[in-house]
Chains A and B, each alone.
Chain A
């Protein structure tokens, strides 16, 4: 199979994936108990006529399959409906919140890779020794720690007691009020505006939440790195490199780690889903204005369209990352394309 054909097949395969998730969430929201109209109108003692009027206006009086078909039609056209709570378009609201989440999750991913790969290499080189055992324990530890708790502890230590970092938000409230976004990515926008002081402030705000997220994922990356590197270090060509008299460092970094990177990147890509889950909690802890915060806010308001829309966007995001990883994998290792 050619690479292009493989890529097209994979793209087509992500469509049912997103569709299934969308359907599950649609069913969860529409079949389970709880009348959103009552929530919008503020509880009990609402005249029945008013309820019916709202149900009619929001389309809830139609059969569920009609509602479903209408919703699908909208999603296919990038229209996620209107927010019940604010009346704004859900698509544009998610568009406002998405950059913050992407900024947070990709920084988190970067930190996870940094910590995970370095400790993984270290553990692999000390295989069986005390360092290896301590690191194994530490790696397991990182995914035994609830991410919201490590976030709060870091916040308390570095934000409240040491006062090195701010304890939440993307910028100080005053600066945020006067700042004019361009792309929505605060780090990028501050640079585009040439405001380096503000860039520093944004970076300072990002560091604790990104580290919280990165730490939670680093253990898994570390373990995969260790296992992959140990496997590669045993292979003939590495032994040849060693026999040739190459310095140890060159051998590990240039010959072994480069080949161990393939499984590492695959695992990191698959973990993107965990990353998104962690981002919701991290955003809650650091008042980070991303789609995780938007989702929680929408759930509290029982804003069905907003909840549905957020889930769809997260599903598309995860499917795209998996897709990129798959294609990248096929690009590096042609065997994948033929299986």
Chain B
């Protein structure tokens, strides 16, 4: 019989030891969890409306308004709490999109080899070598501002990242004996990709997702900061920093400080999560 305290010794203690060795992973999970929960449950946490004026102009932090108010008499804390919705939405959607498209192209390219592979690789390498932000700006500038357009621009920019990893992994897996065996048994390309190739490349792909989200959040913030995001009054960290820039010379520090800290916490969280996953999965990555 295993009684309760013993059970906790069997389960909890090793778990604690395991987590103790993975401080980076834990830190990442905590930060990401914090941001995601607060953002999803924004109405529960925000003390005021993020878009309606409710106080005096440019009140410094303290008292009722912990993070102060902006020039339109809105509560900065509430805007910071709501301001993560667009960045997270855009970062998640664009990451999923580029993962789907990039990985599929990578599998096909790596498996097909030949001229198709060479052409695709060349195009992807060219896109990969170009600064993500500048490419995203150019695309979104032509599509016009908006959430969907930002998602599309950021997704296009990160497709090469997944393409390269999926292709590289496919080339590795293709050499395995079981793949050759399946080929010898007459499996066709779609089945080969679906059953034998793709599943064995997933680990490597998943290892970069978290870093990608972190990067996408910074790219979204950059786009919003440059004015390619949503029109006001939608709260968005990057856009709010641009708004605060105009008041910086007069010393209204809180307008840019708090949304910026929110971006750093979010991006740091996803970076640490990525590092932690890498450590947990294997020492080679």
Contacts and interface: CB of A to CB of B under 8 A. Distances in A.
A294 B143 CA distance: 20
A148 B271 contact: no
Given A25-B138, A146-B222, A160 B133 contact: no
Interface stretch (B3-11, B71-79, B119-127, B181-189): B119-127
A273 B142 contact: no
Contacts of B253: 156
A16 B272 CA distance: 37
A319 interface: yes
Contacts of B154: none
Contacts of B263: 145-146, 149
A59 interface: no
A144 interface: yes
Given A28-B138, A295-B137, A20 B126 contact: yes
Contacts of B256: 149, 152-153, 156
Contacts of A278: 133
Given A34-B144, A144-B267, A281-B225, A17 B129 contact: yes
A126 to B, nearest CB: 17
Contact of B248 (A147, A156, A322): A156
Contact of B222 (A17, A140, A148, A152): A148
B191 to A, nearest CB: 32
B141 interface: yes
B13 interface: no
Contacts of B268: 140-141, 144
B216 to A, nearest CB: 12
Most buried by A among B123, B131, B137: B131
B182 to A, nearest CB: 31
B259 to A, nearest CB: 8
B134 A140 contact: no
A296 B271 CA distance: 29
A114 B204 CA distance: 33
A299 interface: yes
- Chain B's interface size range is 35 or more
B256 to A, nearest CB: 5
B133 A277 contact: yes
Contacts of A330: none
Contacts of A17: 122, 125-126, 129
A25 B138 CA distance: 8
Give the bracket for the number of chain A residues in contact with chain B: 35 or more
B143 A314 contact: no
The binding surface of chain B is classed by DSSP as: helix
A280 B272 contact: no
B200 interface: no
Contacts of B260: 146, 149, 152-153
A144 B214 contact: yes
A118 B131 CA distance: 26
Interface string A293-335: 0011001001000010001001100110010000000000000
B129 A322 contact: yes
B141 A277 contact: no
Contacts of A147: 222
A213 to B, nearest CB: 13
B100 to A, nearest CB: 20
Contact of A29 (B126, B142, B222): B142
B134 to A, nearest CB: 6
A276 B142 contact: no
A197 interface: no
B222 A155 contact: no
Given A28-B139, A146-B267, A273-B131, A152 B122 contact: no
A32 interface: yes
Interface in B129-164: 129-134, 137-139, 141-144
Contacts of B218: 144, 146
Interface in A249-293: 273-274, 276-278, 280-281, 284-285
B144 A296 contact: no
A302 B125 CA distance: 28
Nearest to B222: A281
A24 interface: yes
B171 to A, nearest CB: 15
Given A29-B142, A32-B142, A299-B141, A140 B275 contact: yes
A143 interface: yes
B123 to A, nearest CB: 5
A160 B249 contact: yes
A273 B129 contact: yes
B141 A153 contact: no
Given A16-B126, A17-B126, A148-B241, A276 B134 contact: yes
A268 B130 CA distance: 15
23 contacts: A17-B122, A17-B129, A21-B126, A24-B127, A25-B138, A32-B139, A141-B268, A144-B214, A144-B268, A145-B264, A146-B221, A146-B238, A152-B256, A152-B260, A155-B248, A160-B251, A167-B249, A273-B131, A278-B133, A281-B225, A311-B134, A318-B131, A319-B129
Given A34-B142, A144-B268, A276-B134, 11 more contacts: A16-B122, A25-B138, A28-B142, A145-B267, A148-B225, A153-B257, A156-B251, A167-B249, A273-B131, A280-B131, A314-B131
For the complex of A and B, the 3 pairs showing the least CB-CB separation, nearest first, are A277-B131, A20-B126, A149-B260
